[in-house]
Amino acid sequence: MNNIVNITPENFQQVILQDSQSKIVMVEFWAEGYEPSAAIAPLIANVAARFSDNLIHARVDCQQQQEIAGQFGVQGLPTVILVKEGQPLDGFAGPQTEEQIVALLEKHLPKVEDGLYQQATELVTAGDYQQAYPLLKQANELAPERADIKLLLADSQVELGQLKPAKALLDTIGLVDQDALFKSILGKIELAEQAAESPEIKALQAKLAEQPDSLEIKTELAIQLHQANQTEEALELIMSVLLVDLNFGEAKKFTLDMINALPDGDPLKSKYRRKIYSLLY
């Protein structure tokens, strides 16, 4: 994406006042034949290209646009000023390394995990935990220290039947971040665990204890566990049926349905998909 623009009096208002409402404008002041400007220009261009989605790289030729340089109070070159919503935000004067320029921008540009978290929040609000999960998983990998991302990820895991990883994630939440959402997730986990102790499940577990080789009881119990959000236990049990008889009843269909119901990015999905593919092929 080409995000470079040369500033002139004609486009000054559009770029500096209007475009800066939605993106940060990095204004580079330079002069033809001036070595410090020439030395830093490729570094600024490289950095601008990396952040092209959220950044406009505006160049001001100080020899041709002395009035614009004066408006910004530029006294030496090279100078870079960041503009947001029509106002100077930050900047530097003098030589800089590419790493220093990146560090300056990263203080002000939206982070990838922020965008992922925002998208996931909207999906969770709409009740779409399936689509929210991979976004939150990616955000958590990018920013594992952020409690807000971990909490929303744990909430999604509970809703998708991943109680064990959700509990493990909650164990990493510090006391200061154990807010209303944290308590709500704990409550959901408790309810899910109580559902796993339902009379139907207990009765099937008792039957299985008496008839440990019964594929029919194992299948029925796996279905009940899955409905009670005990996804991992359900998959493990129904896979034990397929290992004995790949064509037993509808066990294969139930297994595929359980796997396909898992969100993309869920380790269980890839784990059990590999297992069933090894049996099928």
User: Tell me: the pLDDT tens digits for 214-261?
Assistant: 999 999 999 999 988 888 899 999 999 999 999 999 999 999 999 998
Q: Which two tokens stand for residue 235?
A: 């998959």
Strand order in the sheet with 24-30: 4-6, 55-61, 24-30, 79-84, 87-93
Predicted local distance difference test score (pLDDT) of residue 135: 96
Alpha-carbon gap, residue 280 to 244, rounded angstroms: 13
Q: How many CB atoms lie within 10 A of CB 189?
A: 19
Whole-number average pLDDT of the chain: 94
Tokens of 266: 């869920």
Nearest to 158 by CA among 187, 136, 178: 187
What is the Cα–Cα distance from 90 to 191, expressed in whole angstroms? Answer: 50
Q: How far is CA 48 from CA 4, 67, 101, 194, 220, in A?
A: 8, 25, 10, 54, 58
List, for residues 171-187, the tens digit of each pLDDT value.
999 999 999 999 999 99
Region of 91 on the Ramachandran plot (φ > 0 left; ψ -120 to 50 alpha; else beta):
left
Q: Judge whether 80 and 44 are in contact, CB under 8 Å.
A: yes
Band (pLDDT 50/70/90 cuts) for residue 169 is: very high
Give the integer Cα–Cα distance in Å for 61 and 79: 11
Closest CA to 80 of 97, 64, 67: 97
pLDDT tens for residues 24-48? Answer: 999 999 999 999 999 999 999 999 9
CA dihedral for 24, 30, 35, 36, sign (positive or negative): negative
CB 8 within 8 A of CB 60: no
Q: Residues 58, 25: contact at Cβ < 8 Å?
A: yes
Sequence letter at residue 42: P
- Reported pTM: 0.62
Q: Is the pLDDT of residue 1 over 70?
A: no
Task: Kindly report the number of other CB atoms within 10 A of residue 274's CB atom.
Answer: 9
